[in-house]
A and B are shown apart, each in its own frame.
Chain A
């Protein structure tokens, strides 16, 4: 069974640009969550999508947005990039049934560098 895949693996952008990251969950998983990881803040939750609907949202500005398609693949978009957006962006997939057994599986991440 294929794991969670993320593309691209690396990105370099300049301030003010926008970027779109993609995540393909494990087959059969309907929930996709996004996290930002930085040395200073650790892992922080961005948002979760389940069946094409945003189900949960973290404390990030509106420049961070996402969507999910009918095949459960998800994209995350960051507009008007700032230097502080440089981070490893991780997505996680799960069945999303909110149960006690709902295990999260992470992709390899996209390393975004903003110059």
Chain B
């Protein structure tokens, strides 16, 4: 059974800092991995999708990497801003179907 773990559970940083969020998964047989952002009480916003054959994806200040063999992904946020404050979730899509298995998330606070 796939298990996804995110470290740290919470992170508080000053504005302008570069930061890394970590995601690990137990079964490397995945189709892709998605990073999402969730604001309090809201739905999920897709940030980046990395296919299993890819090593990284970039969108603006965000860069996500994937090491499928070791079961790890990282989300790098450059020059953090207060508007980046949210919970960040990673999810893997398994080859056995379309379901996503989510981690518990990292709650990020960027202080002005």
Residue positions of A touching B, CB distance < 8 A: 4, 6, 31, 33, 35, 42-43, 45, 48, 50, 55-56, 58, 88, 90, 92, 94, 96, 98-109, 111
Contacts and interface: CB of A to CB of B under 8 A. Distances in A.
Given A43-B91, A45-B100, 9 more contacts: A33-B99, A45-B101, A48-B99, A55-B97, A98-B97, A100-B51, A103-B34, A104-B46, A106-B46
A4 B42 CA distance: 13
Interface of B: 31-32, 34, 36, 41-46, 49, 51-53, 89, 91, 93, 97-105
A102 B46 contact: no
Given A100-B32, A101-B32, A106 B98 contact: no
A102 B42 contact: no
Given A56-B99, A98-B98, A111 B34 contact: no
Given A33-B99, A101-B51, A106 B104 contact: no
B98 A101 contact: no
B98 A111 contact: no
Contact of B100 (A4, A33, A50): A33
Contacts of A90: 43-44
6 contacts: A42-B103, A48-B98, A55-B97, A55-B98, A96-B98, A104-B100
B1 to A, nearest CB: 10
B20 to A, nearest CB: 21
Contacts of A50: 98
B94 to A, nearest CB: 10
A101 B99 CA distance: 14
